[in-house]
Structure 1
Amino acid sequence: MTGLRRIAAVGVAAAIALAIFLALFAALRGRPQDLPWTPLDLGQPVGMFTGGKLAGLRQDFPKCRALLDKAGVSYTQMPSVSAGRCGYTDGVRFAPGGSRRTDYWPTTTGTSCPVAAALSVWEWTVVQPAARRYFGQRVASIHHLGSYNCRNIYGRATGPLSEHATANAIDIAGFTLEDGTKITVLHDWADNGDRGTFLRSVRNGACRLFSTTLSPDYNAAHHDHLHFDEAQRGALSWRTCR
């Protein structure tokens, strides 16, 4: 056996062993969502590969819409936008109605479908549980600084396009609780009490759902928001969380 064939054989064996391990691991835990090949269901608990599956929806807009429908998320499809290298064909906007509440978001909230799906799961499984844990009440509204913006990363004159250029990102600025209390990244990130702990908790939870999660801990450009995007890097590839 040549060296290349030997390496290939070892790689195949390792992949098979990994697949068997994952299957046994998920079966023992009763968590099929921890397997990379099981179908995504937005109503299931977050699994090891949920984030990668969400990002993968960028290639299948009908599937993404079907998952939102199944989960009871009400939305409207946004008209396609084409602006040179920028634009999108899979934009959705949260709308009133449905079995899942979406009135936490401004009616202007429009993103790529994978980001909308991830935001929905984030609100259900991360934001609201954290709000009840630290404040004993729910979040009434979530505030953001926008999604679609035809620009390069950091607004530079040259370089790669930002995920915002295809509505595949959103910047979260803060939250309002049911009693009217406002919690913002700008003013409360450095807080050592419940406010800062809540913000860091929802950041950490987002890391399991988005390809990229950036906060003030990353750099000064993110001093007033949490950046989330669904850059497609594959279910098994690296994720950015800072």
Structure 2
Amino acid sequence: MPAPVAGRGWRRRLRREALALLGHAGPLVLVVAAAWHLPLPWNPFMPLDVRQPAGPLDRAKLRRLGDRPAACHAFLESAGQRFEPLPDRAVEAGCGWRDAVRVGGGPGLRWSPVPLTCHSAAALALWQHRVLQPQARAAFGQPVQRLEHFGSYACRDVAGTGRRSGHARARALDVAGVVLADGRRITVSSHWDGPPDAAAFLRALRDGACASVDQVLSPDHNAAHRDHLHLEQGGWRACR
């Protein structure tokens, strides 16, 4: 007779412990279950996808790629970026990089390959798909085939300061202009205050970049940016 009593007690304790565990994990289980029914842009468990409309979690998902090189490379591949991983360059005197890639374009788009942190390259890929090409087609009825730039990595300070630039950590790209499919060239230096269609297009590129890029600086910021758009990932936020 004692054995059955002990057995019933063990079952009761097991049930109590299972219910207690469910009480702690239940909300998480419900969140996970509900997430599978959310639209993809709103689903925190689904990876970032340039083919999906912009969503409120994109910036958080993009930031998460900065700590996950394999996931970041997978994202670049899914976005059709031409890239190759680079070995880390030891940071000395505030210059160098970690988890960088050499990237030279995307679908139907090319530029001179440059080193960028994968996180920065991912933000640039979002800008290409969601801003650059849609704005070019809307304004001119054709895509951009080449991006012109002044480079990315440079071991230097922000002009007029003693503070290292984002370029010193391969986090920034200075976009000088674009070449459309028909060969028309539009540059920040010549068209920021030029013909209305080109000027509006360049400002749309600047404004649209602010959705995924942390620091976007244009000629409206200061004279040092009179001929380019500074696109930098990481650090403080700015859209000027």
Q: Which letter maps to 1:152?
A: D
Q: Is the 8 A contact 1:73 1:102 kept in 2?
A: no
Q: Is the 8 A contact 1:76 1:95 kept in 2?
A: no
Question: Structure 1 unaligned runs (5+)?
Answer: 1-19, 234-238
Aligned to 2:155: 150
CA distance in 2: counterparts of 1:81 and 1:199, whole angstroms: 34
- The answer to whether structure 1 residue 199 and structure 2 residue 202 are counterparts is yes
Equivalent pairs, count: 206
* 1:179/1:228 CA distance change after superposition, 3 Å: same
CA distance in 1: counterparts of 2:153 and 2:160, whole angstroms: 13
Which of the pair has more CA radius of gyration?
2
> SS state of the match for residue 125, structure 1?
helix
* Residues 1-242 of structure 1 aligned to structure 2 (within 5 Å): 31-34=39-42, 39-84=47-92, 85-94=94-103, 101=107, 103-106=109-112, 108-154=113-159, 156=161, 158-159=162-163, 161-191=164-194, 193-232=196-235, 239-242=237-240
> SS state of the match for residue 53, structure 1?
helix
CA distance in 2: counterparts of 1:174 and 1:92, whole angstroms: 22
CA drift at 1:36: 5.9
CA drift at 1:81: 1.6
> SS state of the match for residue 170, structure 1?
strand
CA distance in 2: counterparts of 1:109 and 1:192, whole angstroms: 30
Deviation above 4 Å: which 4+ runs of structure 1? Answer: 34-38
Q: Is the 8 A contact 2:191 2:198 kept in 1?
A: yes
CA distance in 2: counterparts of 1:138 and 1:61, whole angstroms: 30
**Deviating more after overlay: 46-55 vs 127-136:** 46-55
CA drift at 1:69: 2.4
CA drift at 1:228: 0.8
TM-score computed with the length of structure 1 as normaliser: 0.75
Percent of pairs with identical residues: 40
* 1:72/1:176 CA distance change after superposition, 3 Å: closer
TM-score computed with the length of structure 2 as normaliser: 0.76
Higher relative contact order (CA 8 A, sep 6+): 1
Q: Which letter maps to 2:192?
A: W
Taking only aligned residues, the RMSD between alpha carbons, in angstroms, comes to: 2.5
Q: Is the 8 A contact 2:136 2:201 kept in 1?
A: yes
CA drift at 1:32: 4.0
Q: Which letter maps to 1:141?
A: R
* 1:182/1:76 CA distance change after superposition, 3 Å: same
Q: Which letter maps to 1:164?
A: H
